């Protein structure tokens, strides 16, 4: 391989690495009890997972699919869940203080005993969601 071909191959490798989404380079696979604070998992698919006790505070989770997942006792302080798929998701006892959930689909989700203080969910869909015992101080919800 001559010098010119090596340069082209190197440029192709560098270009491919730079084309990776930032979330691919910085985020780690989500797991129950794991600390993923501040990570970007936007547009990922994490449906049907048990993420009990996970820490996703200040995480960017825009348009992420969490359908049928479990977030019991999880910390999602100030997480950005804009347009996320949260159908049938269990947030029992989770703390979502200050989370942004605009446009999120939370149909049939469970927020029992969760802290949703200051949450913005005004354009999302929360039909048939369970908010029994949840704290909703300053939350923007349209039921």
Q: DSSP string of 59-100?
A: -B-TT-B-TT-B-TT-B-TT-B-TT-B-TT-B-TT-B-TT-B
Dihedral Cα 57, 73, 105, 61, nearest 10 deg: 20
DSSP 57: T
Farthest CA pair distance, the chain:
70
Give tens-digit pLDDT for 13-39.
444 444 444 444 457 899 999 999 999
Residues 6+ apart with CB under 8 A from 74: 51, 52, 53, 54, 55, 56, 91, 94, 95
Quick one: average pLDDT of 49-60? 97
Higher-pLDDT residue of 107, 141: 107
Per this entry, what is the length of the chain? 143
Q: How far is CA 25 from the centre of its chain?
A: 17
For 4, phi then psi, to 5°, come to -60, -45
| Residue pair 87/110 in contact by the 8 Å Cβ criterion | no
What pTM did the predictor assign? Answer: 0.80
Asked if residue 10 has pLDDT above 50, the reply is no
Of the pLDDT bands very low, low, confident and very high (cuts 50, 70, 90), residue 130 is: very high
| Residue pair 104/122 in contact by the 8 Å Cβ criterion | no
Instruction: Report the range of poorest mean pLDDT among 20-29, 33-42, 61-70, 81-90.
Output: 20-29
Quick one: average pLDDT of 79-92? 97
């Amino acid at each position: 391989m001559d010098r010119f071909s090596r340069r082209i191959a190197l440029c192709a490798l560098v270009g491919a690495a730079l084309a990776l989404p930032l979330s691919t380079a910085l985020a780690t696979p989500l797991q129950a009890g794991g600390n993923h604070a501040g990570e970007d998992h936007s547009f990922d698919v994490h449906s049907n997972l048990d993420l009990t006790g996970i820490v996703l505070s200040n995480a960017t989770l825009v348009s992420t699919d969490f359908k049928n997942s479990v977030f019991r006792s999880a910390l999602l302080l100030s997480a950005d869940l804009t347009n996320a798929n949260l159908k049938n998701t269990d947030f029992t006892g989770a703390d979502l203080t200050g989370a942004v959930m605009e446009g999120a689909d939370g149909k049939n989700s469970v927020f029992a005993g969760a802290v949703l203080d200051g949450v913005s969910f005004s354009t999302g869909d929360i039909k048939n969601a369970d908010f029994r015992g949840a704290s909703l101080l300053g939350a923007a919800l349209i039921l």
